[in-house]
């Protein structure tokens, strides 16, 4: 469970329990609130942190009748991450698959819980295992794959420079090793069938490392979500993200991605205490000027486990605001129909004003003319039309995830999103390639790992995106 689907998760868990199932919860929300699934979701057990290793133990204990209440899955090493059981999934129901290559993020943004739950030490999965899982997916007909990393760029040039200046040889070595592993992964991705498209999430600092961006392009990592968050220095400071640039330097940095063949999905947050009414217009203008291919404009939400949440919970402790008996600081337990859309009061604007202005920004960025102009980045008319559909789908999906003004609009947005998704899915899927062979990897214990056999047989008739 995530926080956003916890209430529904508990409902599903109770239904399963009533029908005689043993119910085990895990995921980020259960990790942060391990008692809640017992109180709300008829849990038999809860696994916190990583489930890769713990899950097997839970199953064995349940079978033996000696299950524990809470299992600590811990933060396992990257070499222990497991591939998903893709064989259990109805592949024709999905547009893309996702594979995580690294967990954890060295940054500490105030609105993000990743560095707290996944840790600040990047835990990298050996590239051979990532490639094997991706080949499995391509054999099943997935050609679009999200590299579902918190931060695809775990070592910055600044990190390396600082370690060298401090003569910290051990650190230089460990950072270099992480960086080299990334390049090895990208080199292997580049050998996969050329109809494959990857996208990921990355910090803006990677724009300073064009060697890295070029490797991404060669690896067919065609897009990345970049957390821009705010376009002003005050806004960036407010979210502990002052390693990002603002103003013209920000525009330049975002454009660098495009120049090196990586499309940007810019992610912006509204509702920061430093935001003013003029921030909305300034943000959308910047997004348009920077030429980001997609953009999302999310409203500030205090997710549990974050610095923002901790601060807000403390503020509320004395006299908590209640919604039908539930404190606002447990907002995920409030039924969606009566759940407020914003939780933290803003010094200048009401929640409604922030929501309406955010909607306008979405409308402006995704108006048909603007989408059509952006679609010029694709090579054919068919691809341009697909781009338009995808942009509209993205906009509709987000309109249904909390920023829409009322339930009628949300319902309409969802119906539209489903319809567009059905059309778009066709563009995403590819003919399965069961003939694709897995590489034979050389053992890690001998020097650097290299391929001992040609990576894959090339597809004969695959279309290039």
Residues near ligand SF4, by CB under 6 A: 105, 107-109, 112, 114-115, 150-151, 203, 227
Choose, by CB under 6 A, the member of 102, 114, 342, 361 that binds ligand B12.
114
> At closest approach, how far in Å is the CB of 83 from ligand SF4?
23
> At closest approach, how far in Å is the CB of 102 from ligand SF4?
11
The item of ligand SF4, ligand B12, none sharing an interface with residue 109, based on CB under 5 to 8 Å by kind, is ligand SF4
> What is the residue whose two structure tokens read 């999200």?
146
> At closest approach, how far in Å is the CB of 172 from ligand SF4?
22
The item of ligand SF4, ligand B12, none sharing an interface with residue 456, based on CB under 5 to 8 Å by kind, is none
Choose, by CB under 6 A, the member of 42, 112, 192, 430 that binds ligand B12.
112
> At closest approach, how far in Å is the CB of 437 from ligand B12?
26
Calpha distance 248→243 (Å, rounded): 15
Cα four-point dihedral sign 120, 122, 123, 125: positive
Choose, by CB under 6 A, the member of 28, 196, 239, 300 that binds ligand B12.
28
Strands 123-124 and 102-103: antiparallel
- 150 touches ligand B12 (CB under 6 A): yes
What mask, x for binding ligand B12 by CB under 6 A, covers residues 299 to 328? ----xx------------------------
- 98 touches ligand B12 (CB under 6 A): yes
- 34 touches ligand B12 (CB under 6 A): no
The item of ligand B12, ligand SF4, none sharing an interface with residue 227, based on CB under 5 to 8 Å by kind, is ligand SF4
Which residue number, 125 or 374, has a Cβ lying nearer to ligand SF4? Answer: 125
Q: How far apart are the first and last CA of the chain?
A: 34
By beta carbon distance, the residue nearest ligand B12 is 26
The item of ligand SF4, ligand B12, none sharing an interface with residue 98, based on CB under 5 to 8 Å by kind, is ligand B12
The item of ligand SF4, ligand B12, none sharing an interface with residue 107, based on CB under 5 to 8 Å by kind, is ligand SF4
Choose, by CB under 6 A, the member of 160, 298, 333, 370 that binds ligand B12.
298
Which residue number, 12 or 453, has a Cβ lying nearer to ligand B12? Answer: 12
- 27 touches ligand B12 (CB under 6 A): yes
The item of ligand B12, ligand SF4, none sharing an interface with residue 404, based on CB under 5 to 8 Å by kind, is none
β-sheet bridge partners, residue 269: 298
Which residue number, 245 or 387, has a Cβ lying nearer to ligand SF4? Answer: 245
Angle at 144 between CA 141 and CA 145, to 5 degrees: 105
Contact at 8 Å (CB) between 119 and 150? no
Contact at 8 Å (CB) between 230 and 186? no
Calpha distance 157→139 (Å, rounded): 37
> At closest approach, how far in Å is the CB of 210 from ligand SF4?
20
Residues that bind ligand B12 (CB under 6 A): 2-4, 24-29, 47, 50-52, 55, 98, 100, 103, 112-114, 118, 146, 148, 150, 201, 298, 303-304, 401
């Amino acid at each position: 469970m995530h926080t956003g689907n916890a209430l529904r998760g508990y409902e599903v868990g109770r239904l399963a329990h009533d029908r005689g199932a043993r119910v085990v919860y895990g995921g980020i929300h259960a990790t942060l609130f391990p008692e809640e699934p017992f109180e709300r979701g008829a849990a038999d057990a809860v696994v916190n942190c990583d489930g890769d290793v713990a899950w097997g133990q839970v199953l064995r204990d349940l079978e033996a009748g000696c299950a524990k209440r809470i299992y600590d899955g811990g933060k396992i090493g990257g070499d222990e991450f497991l591939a998903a059981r893709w064989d259990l999934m109805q592949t024709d129901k999905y547009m893309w698959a996702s594979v995580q290559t690294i967990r954890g993020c060295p940054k500490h943004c105030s609105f993000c819980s990743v560095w707290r739950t996944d840790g600040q030490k990047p835990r990298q999965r050996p590239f051979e295992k990532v490639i094997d899982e991706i080949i499995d997916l391509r054999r099943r007909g997935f050609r679009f794959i999200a590299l579902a990393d918190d931060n695809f760029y775990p070592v910055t040039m600044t990190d390396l420079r600082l370690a060298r200046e401090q003569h910290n040889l051990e650190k230089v070595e460990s950072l270099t090793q992480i960086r080299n592993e990334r390049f090895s992964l990208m080199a292997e991705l580049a050998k996969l069938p050329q109809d494959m498209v990857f996208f990921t999430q990355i910090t803006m600092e990677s724009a300073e490392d064009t060697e890295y961006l070029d490797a991404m392009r060669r690896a067919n990592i065609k897009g990345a979500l970049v957390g821009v968050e705010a376009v002003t220095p005050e806004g960036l400071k407010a979210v502990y993200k002052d390693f990002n640039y603002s103003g013209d330097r920000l525009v330049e940095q975002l454009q660098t991605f495009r120049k090196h063949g990586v499309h940007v999905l810019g992610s912006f947050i509204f509702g920061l205490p430093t935001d003013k009414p003029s921030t909305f217009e300034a943000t959308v203008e910047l997004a348009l000027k920077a030429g980001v291919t997609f953009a999302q404009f999310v409203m500030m939400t205090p997710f549990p486990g974050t610095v923002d949440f901790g601060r807000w919970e403390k503020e509320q402790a004395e006299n908590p605001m209640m919604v039908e008996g539930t404190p606002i600081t447990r907002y995920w337990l409030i039924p969606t129909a009566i759940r407020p859309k914003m939780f933290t009061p803003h010094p200048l604007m009401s929640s409604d004003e922030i929501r309406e202005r955010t909607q306008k920004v979405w409308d402006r960025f995704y108006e048909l003319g603007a989408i059509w102009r952006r679609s010029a980045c694709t090579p054919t008319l068919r691809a341009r039309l697909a781009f338009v559909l995808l942009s509209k789908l993205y906009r509709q999906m987000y309109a249904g995830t909390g920023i829409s003004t009322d339930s009628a609009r949300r319902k309409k947005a969802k119906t539209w999103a489903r319809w567009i998704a059905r059309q778009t899915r066709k563009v995403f899927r590819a003919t399965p390639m069961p003939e694709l062979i897995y590489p034979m990897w050389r053992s890690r214990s001998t020097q650097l790992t290299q391929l001992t056999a040609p990576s894959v047989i090339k597809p004969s008739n695959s279309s290039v995106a």
